[in-house]
Structure formats: C-alpha cells, structure tokens
Structure 1
C-alpha cells in the first residue's frame, strides 16, 4: 500500500502521484534482468477486459486456479508469463509493516506472515510485479479489524517483499491496484506495481484480484 500521505480514489484505493526474483538471502534480481520488450506470451481471448482481450470466463478460470494454489495456471489463463517469483516467511508482522498497521500489530501480534512477489509480463511487453501477503492472526476478530484499518487512506500497510530494493530501481507500490481479502483467521493483501510499460489499468486490477485468491 502507498505511503500515508498518498491520496485514495472514490473506492478508497491508493492513487498514484506518478507513474523473478530471488529475495531470500540476497538482493533482488528484478525488473530489467531477464525482461525485454515483447513478453512472448502468445494468444488472446475475447470479450476484452480493458486492452488485454481476456474474457470474463478466462478470469473466472484463473481465479479458480488461484484458489487451488496453481498460480502459474492462473497467470497463463490471463495470457501472462511469470518471469520470476520470490517467497519469504516471517513471524513478526510489526517489523514487516509501517504506519498504523505496525501499531496494530504491536498491540495484536500476528501468528505468521508469508509474502510472495511475482514478476509478470503481458503480451504487449508490459512488465509488473504483484505482491501478495498472507497475514494469519491469532484471533478471527482481529482479521476484520485489520482489514478495516488497512483499507483506509493513510494507515500504512504490510511492507511488500523486496519493496526497498524495488524502490532503488524506480518501482514503487502506490496502492493501485490493491485488494485485501479476509478468510477466517487470514487476511490476504495483494498489490501491483508497474516495472516497465503501462499495463492496462482495468486488466491490472483483475490480475491483483486473481492474486488475492491465492491461498495462504
């Protein structure tokens, strides 16, 4: 999610003021490495979503694949190529968050935190990263309170995996697109950031929605 002073749109999502991956135990080899113009993703569908030409049926299939944990099948269903993937577990959510969200975790420690960063490429040569965080709380009631807080402008968020290294490459998470999804004692937080090119906003939002369906 964006910095606390960033604005939100009418739906309460962060708005931008401007514009795979090996993380654990080393620096991120991201963005420009291994990514070139023309992602090499073949095919298109019908009933265009934005400029991506992906049908609603394909989106539904991708969400179903995501719910089963088949992330690569989910991306292929959206005509995306996974360039890189990084994952890292953590026990302390307060250390890996900022703003009021960090304060929330200091008062209500999480049980576990898992974060994954996908680097994806679309058929038009646009590349972007999608961050997914799975926050497991000790009590189910804390999940709804966390969601209510994390969805509000200026409250902070869980720090995306590799966010600091991405920032040095000019890649910033602005909070758009963003989605949080509660499920029992789990809150899934998904967010995207452009690496190169200009992903279609409507399609980019769909990709993040699909990512939020991935199980913890």
Structure 2
C-alpha cells in the first residue's frame, strides 16, 4: 500500500475514497458549540449517534436516498431534514482559483486542465441531541464534460490530493481535519461541474455510515447561483 502526505502534513494510505474505509478518522479538536433547541417541528432524531446495527444501517440508506432526491431538487433544508438534522451555519465563497486552492495530483491536474469556476461552502448540521457535523462542499466547473469526468476519476482516489475546504475557522470552529473517508461526488450541469463533499464530526458522535451518507447527500446539492 502506498502513502501520501495530506494538506496538514500527515502521512495517510492511498485507498479509494468510496467503500475503502471501515471507520472514519476522528477529527482533532472539537468546537464548543451546541445545537439550539426548538426549530423544526417534532424534533430531530439523532440518527447518526447510536450503535450501528443492521436496522440502523438500513435506516441511514433510506434516509440518504430521500435526502439525495431533495438535494437534487434544490431543497437543502428538506434534504437535511430527511437525514434527521438541520443546517446551523453556512459560509460560501466563489472564485476560480483552483490551482492555488489545491494540492497533490489534483493541483497537477489543474496545471494542464484549468477550471472555469470554483464554489466552496462550509456548513454545520446538527440534531436535537447535540450531535454536530461539519460538511465541506466544493463545486468545480470545467470547459467540457470530459474534463470533469477525468477530474472525478482523480478525485475519487484517496490520496490523490484535494481542493482545500474553506476551513472550519470560517464557522468559528477549531482544527477539523477532513479524512476523505466520508466522501461523495456527483457531476451536474450537463456533466461540466463536479461536486465534491466531505463530512466529519464536530461535536457529539456520528457513525461512519451516517457521516458518509451526509457527504453523499451534500454532493447532490445544486451549484450555487452566481
């Protein structure tokens, strides 16, 4: 097995991002932030905070399918509700500086295939039990669908590099390291835009299957308007 050095200078194994890891790497430091009570009527169940039995896994899969459907329709609030969480905070930045915002083989890719747009969102979602996850979503636009397809093949390999998330600091969080194991990607806008999403625990507890489902739902969110 080969190894690579991530954006934080850590040595990590090179593996497929999808279906490769049995468990997520735990984030370094945790925020001192609770989930506000009230809000969505009926409360939000902590789907991702309990043990991982067969029934719980099936429930997460069902919720994920429903959440992806709502996300693809452009209804982010409903997508998160389907997952048993609500959005707490979000920061969006838009530019086209893919080369400067990337590292590893991903950065090398941009040297010969520039992107046409870059949208990055950092957000937190939480349930009524105080479990909070931080989610990074990146939309990368290309001139052709073929360029986006080749980029997806590269991004889907763990250890190939990354486009740096905005950083949890924009949300007032500390040292949340994205492992790449809770990951989702999807092409949209005629195949010319690749969405890449990652998720990690920020407070409380989430099963790896739940974090991965959050990322796969986030990857279906439409490109932000410009």
Shorter-chain TM-score category? 0.7 to 0.9
Give the root-mean-square deviation of aligned CA atoms.
3.2
Shift of 1:48: 4.8
Shift of 1:54: 5.2
Larger CA deviation: 164-173 vs 60-69: 164-173
Shift of 1:153: 3.0
One of 182, 192, 197 as aligned partner of 1:190: 197
1:52-131 alignment runs, 5 A limit: 56=62, 58-131=63-136
One of 133, 138, 141 as aligned partner of 1:133: 138
- Note the residue ranges of structure 2 that are not aligned, 5 or more in a row: 48-53
Shift of 1:170: 2.6
Larger CA deviation: 6-15 vs 86-95: 6-15
CA deviations over 1:80-123 (Å, ceiling 9, x no partner): 02110111101121111111101111211101011111101124
Larger CA deviation: 133-142 vs 145-154: 145-154
| Structure 2 counterpart of 1:3 | 6
Q: 1:166 to 1:37 in 2, by over 3 A?
A: closer
| Structure 2 counterpart of 1:24 | none
Check conservation: 2:91, 2:171, Cα contact below 8 A: no
Q: 1:158 to 1:165 in 2, by over 3 A?
A: same
Check conservation: 1:147, 1:187, Cα contact below 8 A: yes
Check conservation: 1:12, 1:152, Cα contact below 8 A: no
Check conservation: 1:39, 1:126, Cα contact below 8 A: no
Q: Find out whether 1:143 has 2:148 as its counterpart.
A: yes
Shift of 1:45: 9.9
| Partners of 1:55 and 1:112 in 2: CA distance | 32
User: What is the TM-score normalised by the length of structure 1?
Assistant: 0.79
SS, match of residue 92 in structure 2: strand
User: What is the TM-score normalised by the length of structure 2?
Assistant: 0.76
- Note the residue ranges of structure 1 that are not aligned, 5 or more in a row: 20-29
State how many pairs are aligned: 201
Check conservation: 1:100, 1:155, Cα contact below 8 A: yes
